[in-house]
């Protein structure tokens, strides 16, 4: 008799639990898009240069380095040279689908501004007339995965670089931000880094974009392709946010590139600096100002034809080996 009662009670409890689970599935609100945060899983591209190099096989240090880097969540860079307007929508859709399969947050770096890099090692980009259409094509790809968070780093270095007619670049970036803005897209414009423009100078440029594209920005990205320390970049980001808040631009946040700052370098040299090491992986840390650290610049890809490197963006096995010397 007692056994029958226990069975009946357990059966009733099972019904209650099952009913609660069903209620959650049917009626509980799903977690909506939110900014990146420490502990998030970020997207690992199966088609990165590191992944391709690792797939070639081998037992040497270059293959080991490539395999290590291929496993790290790193931003996917969208350039018009690699992803032109007629194919970038499908490419973005594919990246987001792969990120969904990984249950991970994709990080995209959009890098196609007219007069990109002010004609330096990464020179290129689109004509002013063609740039908005390319941005619209990216936005169309992002719209294929609604209600899933996507991080977009919009035109790294573009604000901090001192090109001719900076007001034109600011307007182009603001227009791009407005075209990409969506509830599930978290946009970060260029924030320079702690060894470049002063916080007031950099905040002025960010404020111009924020004012021209109201509500579009989550914040700014610092240290992209550079190697300043976490401590220096954290202090710098806090200064930028403080200045922006003083001017009425509230609730802006930062992400910090830690892909190559494991052995911090604060000198004026930035291009293929010898002796660099990878920093802590994406999503290791963050706080109320810094949403998360990210790997934005893919380690192992050259900064340009300097210090013995190949053209900008090309895979450079020697650099990959040096960068991963302490972690593999």
Catalytic residue ranges: 157, 303
Residue 193 annotated in ligand binding: yes
What is the DSSP secondary structure assignment for residue 268, as one 8-state letter?
S
Residue 226 annotated in ligand binding: yes
Angle at the Cα of 323 from the Cα atoms of 321 and 328, rounded to 5 degrees: 65
Which H or E element spans position 232? helix 230-246
The Cα–Cα gap between 204 and 193 comes to 14
**Which residues, in sequence order, are CB contacts of 229 under 8 Å at separation 6+?**
261, 264, 266
Residue 228 annotated in ligand binding: no
The Cα–Cα gap between 91 and 134 comes to 12
Look at the block and give the residue holding tokens 């035109």: 155
Alpha-helix runs per DSSP H in 111-218: 131-142, 166-180, 199-212
Measured CA distances, 60 to 264, 315, 323, 328 (Å): 27, 16, 15, 12
**Which residues, in sequence order, are CB contacts of 292 under 8 Å at separation 6+?**
36, 37, 38, 40, 255, 282, 283, 285, 286
Residue 270 annotated in ligand binding: yes
Residue 307 annotated in ligand binding: no
Report the SS3 class of residue 116.
strand
Q: Which residues are annotated as a binding site?
A: 77, 193, 196, 226, 270, 297, 301
Q: Which residues are annotated as a binding site for substrate?
A: 77, 193, 196, 226, 270, 297, 301
């Amino acid at each position: 008799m007692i056994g029958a009662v226990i069975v009946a009670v357990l059966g009733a409890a099972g019904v209650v639990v099952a009913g609660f689970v069903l209620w959650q599935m049917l009626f509980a609100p799903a977690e909506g898009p939110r900014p990146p945060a420490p502990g998030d899983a970020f997207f690992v591209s199966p088609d990165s240069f590191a992944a391709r190099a690792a797939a070639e096989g081998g037992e040497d240090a270059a293959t080991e380095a490539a395999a290590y880097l291929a496993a790290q969540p790193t931003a996917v860079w969208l350039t018009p040279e690699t992803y032109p307007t007629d194919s970038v929508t499908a490419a973005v859709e594919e990246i987001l689908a792969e990120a969904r399969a990984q249950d991970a947050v994709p990080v995209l770096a959009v890098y196609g501004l007219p007069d990109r890099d002010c004609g330096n090692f990464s020179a290129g980009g689109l004509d002013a007339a063609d740039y908005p259409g390319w941005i619209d094509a990216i936005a169309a790809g992002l719209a294929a995965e609604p209600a899933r968070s996507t991080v977009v780093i919009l035109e790294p270095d573009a604000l901090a670089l001192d090109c001719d007619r900076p007001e034109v670049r600011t307007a182009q970036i603001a227009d791009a931000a407005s075209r990409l803005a969506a509830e599930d897209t978290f946009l970060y414009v260029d924030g320079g880094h702690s060894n470049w423009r002063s916080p007031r100078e950099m905040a002025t440029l960010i404020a111009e974009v924020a004012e021209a594209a109201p509500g579009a920005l989550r914040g700014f990205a610092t240290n992209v392709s550079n190697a300043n320390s976490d401590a220096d970049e954290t202090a710098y980001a806090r200064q930028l946010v403080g200045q922006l808040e003083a001017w009425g631009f509230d609730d802006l946040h930062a992400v910090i590139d830690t892909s190559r700052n494991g052995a911090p370098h604060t000198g004026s040299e930035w291009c293929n600096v010898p002796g660099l090491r990878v920093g802590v992986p994406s999503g290791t840390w963050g706080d109320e100002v810094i949403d998360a650290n990210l790997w934005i610049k893919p380690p192992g890809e050259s900064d340009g034809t300097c210090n013995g490197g190949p053209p900008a963006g090309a895979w450079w096995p020697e650099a990959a080996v040096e960068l991963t010397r302490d972690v593999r």
